[in-house]
Structure 1
Amino acid sequence: MALGYKTRKRLAILILLVGMPLYVVAAVTLVGLFDRPPLWLEFLIYVALGIVWILPLRTIFRGVAQADPDEKKAEGQDPSA
Protein backbone atom coordinates (compact mmCIF):
# COMPACT_ATOMS: atom_id res chain seq x y z
CA MET A 1 0.00 0.00 0.00
CA ALA A 2 1.49 3.31 -1.10
CA LEU A 3 1.32 6.26 1.26
CA GLY A 4 -0.39 9.41 0.05
CA TYR A 5 1.44 12.68 -0.37
CA LYS A 6 -0.05 14.29 2.74
CA THR A 7 0.66 11.21 4.86
CA ARG A 8 4.28 11.10 3.71
CA LYS A 9 4.66 14.82 4.38
CA ARG A 10 3.28 14.47 7.92
CA LEU A 11 5.46 11.44 8.61
CA ALA A 12 8.52 13.30 7.33
CA ILE A 13 7.84 16.21 9.69
CA LEU A 14 7.28 13.83 12.62
CA ILE A 15 10.51 11.98 11.85
CA LEU A 16 12.49 15.22 11.63
CA LEU A 17 11.03 16.74 14.80
CA VAL A 18 10.91 13.67 17.04
CA GLY A 19 12.87 10.83 15.48
CA MET A 20 15.96 12.72 14.42
CA PRO A 21 16.76 14.18 17.87
CA LEU A 22 16.23 10.76 19.43
CA TYR A 23 18.54 9.21 16.84
CA VAL A 24 21.23 11.82 17.52
CA VAL A 25 21.07 11.16 21.27
CA ALA A 26 21.24 7.41 20.66
CA ALA A 27 24.22 7.78 18.29
CA VAL A 28 26.17 9.99 20.69
CA THR A 29 25.39 7.64 23.59
CA LEU A 30 26.47 4.63 21.55
CA VAL A 31 29.79 6.22 20.57
CA GLY A 32 30.28 7.40 24.15
CA LEU A 33 30.13 3.83 25.47
CA PHE A 34 33.52 3.09 23.94
CA ASP A 35 36.89 4.65 24.69
CA ARG A 36 37.44 7.81 22.68
CA PRO A 37 38.60 6.72 19.21
CA PRO A 38 40.99 8.83 17.13
CA LEU A 39 39.37 11.97 15.76
CA TRP A 40 39.34 10.74 12.15
CA LEU A 41 37.66 7.46 13.17
CA GLU A 42 35.10 9.26 15.29
CA PHE A 43 34.35 11.53 12.33
CA LEU A 44 33.85 8.51 10.04
CA ILE A 45 31.53 6.88 12.60
CA TYR A 46 29.34 9.97 12.78
CA VAL A 47 29.30 10.32 8.97
CA ALA A 48 28.26 6.67 8.62
CA LEU A 49 25.55 7.05 11.28
CA GLY A 50 24.37 10.21 9.54
CA ILE A 51 23.88 8.28 6.29
CA VAL A 52 22.47 5.07 7.76
CA TRP A 53 19.38 6.68 9.33
CA ILE A 54 17.97 7.81 5.99
CA LEU A 55 18.24 4.50 4.13
CA PRO A 56 15.04 2.90 5.51
CA LEU A 57 13.19 6.24 5.40
CA ARG A 58 14.08 7.48 1.92
CA THR A 59 10.72 6.44 0.43
CA ILE A 60 8.93 8.68 2.92
CA PHE A 61 11.11 11.71 2.13
CA ARG A 62 11.18 11.22 -1.66
CA GLY A 63 9.14 13.92 -3.40
CA VAL A 64 7.88 15.63 -0.22
CA ALA A 65 9.35 18.99 -1.24
CA GLN A 66 7.55 18.88 -4.59
CA ALA A 67 4.09 20.24 -5.25
CA ASP A 68 1.19 17.97 -4.28
CA PRO A 69 0.55 15.71 -7.30
CA ASP A 70 -2.97 14.88 -6.09
CA GLU A 71 -3.92 18.57 -6.20
CA LYS A 72 -3.49 18.74 -9.99
CA LYS A 73 -5.58 15.61 -10.50
CA ALA A 74 -8.39 17.02 -8.36
CA GLU A 75 -8.51 20.21 -10.42
CA GLY A 76 -8.84 18.21 -13.62
CA GLN A 77 -5.62 19.50 -15.12
CA ASP A 78 -3.12 17.43 -16.99
CA PRO A 79 -0.28 16.56 -14.54
CA SER A 80 2.29 16.92 -17.33
CA ALA A 81 1.30 20.54 -18.04
Structure 2
Amino acid sequence: MYFQRLRDLREDRDLRQQDIAELLHTSQTVYSRYERGFQTIPVSHLLTLADFYQTSTDYLLGRTNIRTPYPKK
Protein backbone atom coordinates (compact mmCIF):
# COMPACT_ATOMS: atom_id res chain seq x y z
CA MET A 1 0.00 0.00 0.00
CA TYR A 2 2.37 2.65 -1.26
CA PHE A 3 -0.23 5.39 -1.07
CA GLN A 4 -0.16 5.31 2.76
CA ARG A 5 3.60 5.88 2.66
CA LEU A 6 3.11 8.93 0.47
CA ARG A 7 0.72 10.41 2.98
CA ASP A 8 2.88 9.52 5.99
CA LEU A 9 5.99 11.09 4.48
CA ARG A 10 4.10 14.25 3.56
CA GLU A 11 2.51 14.59 6.98
CA ASP A 12 5.84 13.92 8.75
CA ARG A 13 7.10 17.10 7.10
CA ASP A 14 3.92 19.05 7.84
CA LEU A 15 3.26 19.58 4.14
CA ARG A 16 -0.07 19.97 2.39
CA GLN A 17 -1.12 17.98 -0.65
CA GLN A 18 -0.97 21.25 -2.57
CA ASP A 19 2.73 21.63 -1.67
CA ILE A 20 3.59 18.22 -3.12
CA ALA A 21 1.34 18.76 -6.13
CA GLU A 22 3.30 21.92 -6.94
CA LEU A 23 6.58 20.00 -6.63
CA LEU A 24 5.22 17.46 -9.14
CA HIS A 25 3.72 20.13 -11.42
CA THR A 26 0.29 18.58 -11.11
CA SER A 27 -2.98 19.46 -9.42
CA GLN A 28 -3.86 18.82 -5.81
CA THR A 29 -6.73 16.64 -7.01
CA VAL A 30 -4.41 14.34 -8.94
CA TYR A 31 -1.98 14.10 -6.04
CA SER A 32 -4.87 13.31 -3.70
CA ARG A 33 -5.78 10.41 -5.98
CA TYR A 34 -2.22 9.06 -5.64
CA GLU A 35 -2.45 9.16 -1.84
CA ARG A 36 -5.83 7.43 -1.83
CA GLY A 37 -4.72 4.76 -4.29
CA PHE A 38 -7.28 5.77 -6.92
CA GLN A 39 -4.67 6.62 -9.53
CA THR A 40 -1.33 5.02 -10.34
CA ILE A 41 1.60 7.34 -9.79
CA PRO A 42 3.77 7.92 -12.88
CA VAL A 43 7.41 6.85 -12.69
CA SER A 44 8.59 10.44 -13.15
CA HIS A 45 6.59 11.53 -10.08
CA LEU A 46 7.81 8.55 -8.12
CA LEU A 47 11.43 9.45 -8.85
CA THR A 48 10.84 13.09 -7.92
CA LEU A 49 9.28 12.08 -4.61
CA ALA A 50 12.09 9.63 -3.80
CA ASP A 51 14.63 12.40 -4.34
CA PHE A 52 12.56 14.92 -2.38
CA TYR A 53 12.08 12.62 0.61
CA GLN A 54 15.63 11.24 0.30
CA THR A 55 14.48 7.65 0.15
CA SER A 56 14.28 4.86 -2.41
CA THR A 57 11.46 4.16 -4.79
CA ASP A 58 11.28 0.69 -3.25
CA TYR A 59 10.47 2.28 0.11
CA LEU A 60 7.79 4.47 -1.45
CA LEU A 61 6.27 1.43 -3.14
CA GLY A 62 6.30 -0.66 0.03
CA ARG A 63 8.85 -3.16 -1.29
CA THR A 64 11.17 -2.50 1.67
CA ASN A 65 10.91 -0.97 5.11
CA ILE A 66 14.40 0.51 4.89
CA ARG A 67 13.87 4.24 4.57
CA THR A 68 17.41 5.26 3.59
CA PRO A 69 18.14 5.47 -0.14
CA TYR A 70 20.42 3.08 -1.92
CA PRO A 71 24.06 4.20 -2.20
CA LYS A 72 24.82 6.00 -5.43
CA LYS A 73 27.48 4.56 -7.70
If asked which structure has higher relative contact order (CA below 8 Å, sep 6+), I would say 1
Fold conserved between structures, TM > 0.5: no
Q: TM tier, shorter chain?
A: under 0.3
TM-score, normalization by structure 2 = 0.27
Greater share of helix: 1
